[in-house]
């Protein structure tokens, strides 16, 4: 992919935008781009530099993403809506062509890595709730204020705030470095701040090294060793990112949207879609955070397609699909007979969501019952009956303390 029309090869310390940004290390990559940690010499902050492949279709996609990111950033001047902001954008000429570059605020690891670090066990319910709140505030903002549909919500597209940054203020008492939540005035995009007594140079250096070590290896923290304080169980904050596939509600782009496992039923039967597709994906994410496993992992089999298996899995867990969807989608007739049953998958094993949580994932009966109370309405087959992000934010489950 490092050829004409493809990725731009970056070396550490390469400079961009006339010397303003200096590449530090590679953070990740996608189908269209590579993403680098860069130092912004103008603001003296770290940023994420997304460098798009250079072929015309990638430049066009970048332009679309820049327009959407600009609207998202402009509408959230106080940066409180849990969406990734655009700081700057420019073009960079390299041996493979002209690359569109986006400068994004620097964030931490994605939620899939968080689940992996947790050995696919699922997170504590308090952490699931904190993450759900951030995503819902983001969705309420995108849907209600901007009329934007994300269309590709999944764990990889939700990033934790960067993990730890050294504090600018010294701690006033004691000399041991203290790990704590950032205060409002620090205004960082960080989940933790490591506060050290700035008068002691050596200690400060030691703390910086510890920060680098922990963020490098873990990406997030359960506790720190010597000299630090354990912050187990602190809430984690995150932001929704990757608006490369987002669209305005009034201008839906593609027929087939969303990553397979997070795809809503109305997309599969092609009965038209809007904001509720994001609410479906959100429910899949909440389930995955709580259990460590995806809610639906469809596969094609002998005599049936991946789409049909997906619908069957949904019906096994959530019951019968209403007539409206088994009859009226552009593709309904391909999958369903006139009784609303799947044509090619006959025997379904019914298992309620609540039972699944208790029996397979060893939830307590109370936890399972409360969680299902939150999830089930979001998994209504009828998109019009699904609660909005605004309604979801009022749900009592989000404020259970345990």
Nearest by Cα to 159 from 297, 39, 48, 70: 48
- Residue placing its CB nearer to ligand ADP in the complex, 230 or 254: 254
CA distances, 237 to each of 94, 159, 191, 305 (Å): 37, 9, 6, 38
Q: What residues contact 116, with CB distance under 8 A and at least 6 apart? A: none
Q: Least separation, in Å, of the C-beta of 84 and Mg ion?
A: 11
Does 5 bind Mg ion (CB under 5 A)? Our answer is no
Q: Which of 49, 104, 211, 277 binds ligand ADP (CB under 6 A)?
A: 104
Q: Least separation, in Å, of the C-beta of 395 and ligand ADP?
A: 29
Residues 175 to 194 in contact with ligand ADP, rule: CB under 6 A: none
Q: Which of 28, 30, 252, 387 binds Mg ion (CB under 5 A)?
A: 30
Check: CB of residue 389 under 8 Å from CB of residue 144. Answer: yes
What length does the chain have?
402
Check: CB of residue 244 under 8 Å from CB of residue 50. Answer: no
Report the C-alpha gap between 12 and 10 in whole angstroms: 7
Is 50 assigned a ligand-binding role in the annotation? Answer: yes
Report the C-alpha gap between 174 and 119 in whole angstroms: 36
CA distances, 206 to each of 198, 209, 213 (Å): 12, 5, 11
Q: Least separation, in Å, of the C-beta of 183 and ligand ADP?
A: 22
- Please report where in the chains the tokens 């990889």 appear, as a residue: 156
CA distances, 83 to each of 19, 163, 352 (Å): 28, 17, 34
DSSP state of 396: G
Q: Least separation, in Å, of the C-beta of 5 and ligand ADP?
A: 15
DSSP state of 142: I
Query: Which active-site residues does the annotation give?
Result: 152
- 48-87 mask for ligand ADP (x: CB under 6 A)? x-x---------------------------------x---
Q: Least separation, in Å, of the C-beta of 345 and Mg ion?
A: 32
Q: Which of 242, 266, 288, 307 binds Mg ion (CB under 5 A)?
A: 242
Does 241 bind ligand ADP (CB under 6 A)? Our answer is yes
**DSSP SS3 for 7:** coil
Does 252 bind Mg ion (CB under 5 A)? Our answer is no
- Number of Cβ within 10 Å of residue 134's Cβ equals 21
Interface with ligand ADP by CB under 6 A: which range of 16-24, 105-113, 190-198, 293-301? 105-113
- 18-47 mask for ligand ADP (x: CB under 6 A)? ---------xxxxxxx-x------------
- Residue placing its CB nearer to ligand ADP in the complex, 162 or 197: 162
Q: Which residues are annotated as a binding site for ATP?
A: 50
The footprint of Mg ion (CB under 5 A) covers: 30, 242
The footprint of ligand ADP (CB under 6 A) covers: 27-33, 35, 48, 50, 84, 104-107, 110, 156, 159, 241-242, 244
Q: Which residues are annotated as a binding site?
A: 50
């Amino acid at each position: 992919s490092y050829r004409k029309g493809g990725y731009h090869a970056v070396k550490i310390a390469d400079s961009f935008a006339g010397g303003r940004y200096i590449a530090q290390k590679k953070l990740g990559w996608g189908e269209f781009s590579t993403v680098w940690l860069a130092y912004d010499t103008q603001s003296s902050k770290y940023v994420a530099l997304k460098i798009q492949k250079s072929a015309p279709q990638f430049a066009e996609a970048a332009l679309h993403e820049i327009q959407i990111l600009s609207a998202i950033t402009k509408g959230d001047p106080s940066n409180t809506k849990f969406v990734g902001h655009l700081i700057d954008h420019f073009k960079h000429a390299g041996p493979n062509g002209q690359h569109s570059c986006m400068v994004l605020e620097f964030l931490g690891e994605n939620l899939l890595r968080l689940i992996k670090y947790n050995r696919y066990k699922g997170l504590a319910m308090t952490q699931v709730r904190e993450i759900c709140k951030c995503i819902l505030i983001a969705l309420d903002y995108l849907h209600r204020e901007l009329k934007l549909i994300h269309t590709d919500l999944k764990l990889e597209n939700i990033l934790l705030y960067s993990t730890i940054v050294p504090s600018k203020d010294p701690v006033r008492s004691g000399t041991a470095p203290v790990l704590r939540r950032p205060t409002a005035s620090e205004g960082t995009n960080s989940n933790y701040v490591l506060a050290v007594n700035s008068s002691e140079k050596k200690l400060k250096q030691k703390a910086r090294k510890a920060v680098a070590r922990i963020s490098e290896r873990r990406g997030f923290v359960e506790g720190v060793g010597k000299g630090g304080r354990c912050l187990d169980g602190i809430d984690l904050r995150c932001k929704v990112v990757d608006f490369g596939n987002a669209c305005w509600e009034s201008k839906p782009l593609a027929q087939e949207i969303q990553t397979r496992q997070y795809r809503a039923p109305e997309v599969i039967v092609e009965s038209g879609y809007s904001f509720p597709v994001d609410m479906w994906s959100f429910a899949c994410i909440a389930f995955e955070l709580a259990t460590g496993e995806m809610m639906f992992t469809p596969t094609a089999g002998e005599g049936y397609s991946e789409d049909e298996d997906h619908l069957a899995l949904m019906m096994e867990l959530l019951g019968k699909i209403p007539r409206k969807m088994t009859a009226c989608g552009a593709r309904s007739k391909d999958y369903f007979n006139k009784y609303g049953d799947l044509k090619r998958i006959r025997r379904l094993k019914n298992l309620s969501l609540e039972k699944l949580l208790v029996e397979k994932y060893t939830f307590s009966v109370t936890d399972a019952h409360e969680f299902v109370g939150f999830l089930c309405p979001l998994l209504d087959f009828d998109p019009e009956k699904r609660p909005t992000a605004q309604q979801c934010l009022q749900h009592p489950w989000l404020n259970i303390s345990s």
